[in-house]
Amino acid sequence: MMEFRPFSVDVSDEVLADLDRRLAGTRWPDAIPGSGWTYGADLGYLRELVTYWKDHFDWRAFEKRFNAFPQFTTIIDGQHVHFLHVKSPEAEAKPLLLLHGWPSSPLEFLKVIGPLSNPVAHGGRAEDAFDLVIPSVPGFAFSGPTTEAGWHPGRIADAFAELMTGLGYDTFFAHGGDFGSVLAGQLSLRHPDRIAGLHVTFLVTGGLRPEDGEPTAEEAQLAADQAVYNMVETGYLALQATKPQTIAFSLVDSPVGLAAWIVEKLNTWTDNGGVLESVLSKDEILANIMTYWVTATGGSSGRLYFETGAAGMMGPSSERVESPVAVAIFPHELYRATRRVAEHHYNVVRWTPQAKGGHFPALEQPDLLTSDIQESLRAMSGLPAVERSVG
């Protein structure tokens, strides 16, 4: 029988004091005057963020907020796995696995935990309630570093299927973005009888298949946009997929190096209109960075890209995901496709364009994401649609 040990985040004073010393002793690089984010992380913004980090950010307040939710750890396939298990007060709540990606962690979902687990308390309906299981992906955050090779998406999906079995959930729904979407797909491919349905915000399609014929005007534009993105925004992917250990030294030793590596992606991948803090506060940004710093997982999280490539899983699977899949289309998502392309790879039963939002919708637009998850999984459960008003 799987053993579950209660867990709470409690970083030592020594770790926090060491962080303060490192921040105070930062050796800053030069930058081309006025270059902003053109060459990568903006020096001026990083200086401002680090000053706030050192002088104002309250990690203990974040610990208290995070620890308000039940958390546990267990061992699966030799790996330490951390997860939140938030049970709904509703007796008929459905199990939902929420899966994060990089550079993220379970805290990405803090804003949606209440509305999804206890919708009545948030103006919703009891029928839309879920028991939530929110794991830290092995190699990330409070699951700690992976300790052996081979932790690719398929193996992680197997581990999460075992976790859900241990928690007593024979069948369940899953939601994911970024690598969380990849994990959701692997759960469907490897454990199809366990998956009641998937909700994703990120698609892995690999472009047009030959049988699609000529691209539509929309598809041609998406392909052109993707070509530009691939040319200027994927250096992180190439490095983490080939030589992740090289950057690991910087990410584990330098808090500012870690911040620059993550913040540059948050700035590029969110729908922020050119102002990162229009969608994410400094506290939210730093809480995410701190989950990597205090657990020393800046390097091990990047290994997921290497393991994915080594297992031949980088890109779309040769198998179609046949579980019912609902797709929420946020306009600033990294890899976009049309429904006809997506349907070659996924059994798409719902396709819902969203008005705003980017790669981290649970952080950026939690109300939109919550509403789409509830309505999508309601339909998959055979329940009637309801009128909603999302502010």
- Here the tokens at position 154 are 């398929």
**Measured distance CA(77)–CA(64) in Å, rounded:** 30
Question: Rounded to the nearest 5°, which phi and psi values hold at 374?
Answer: -65, -45
> Which residue, among 184, 357, 368, 141, has the nearest Cα to 269 in the 3D structure?
357
Distance (Å, rounded) from C-alpha 366 to C-alpha 225? 26
Catalytic residue among 236, 335, 359, 372: 359
Location of structure tokens 């805290």: 107
Burial of 149 (C-beta count, 10 Å sphere; 0-12/13-18/19+): exposed
Catalytic residue among 42, 128, 131, 178: 178
Distance between CA 103 and CA 121 in Å, rounded?
31
359 catalytic residue (yes or no): yes
Is 128 a known active-site residue?
Answer: no
- CB contact at 8 A, 152 and 313: yes
Can you tell me the distance from the alpha carbon of 369 to that of 175, in angstroms, rounded to the nearest whole number? 10
Instruction: Answer yes or no: 305 catalytic.
Output: yes
Q: Tokens for 215, please give them.
A: 């691209």
275: left (phi over 0), alpha (psi -120 to 50) or beta: beta
Of 169, 292, 305, 335, the catalytic one is 305
Helix axes 43-55, 13-24, angle to 10 degrees: 140
Quick one: which H or E segment has residue 351?
strand 346-353
Catalytic residues: 178, 305, 359
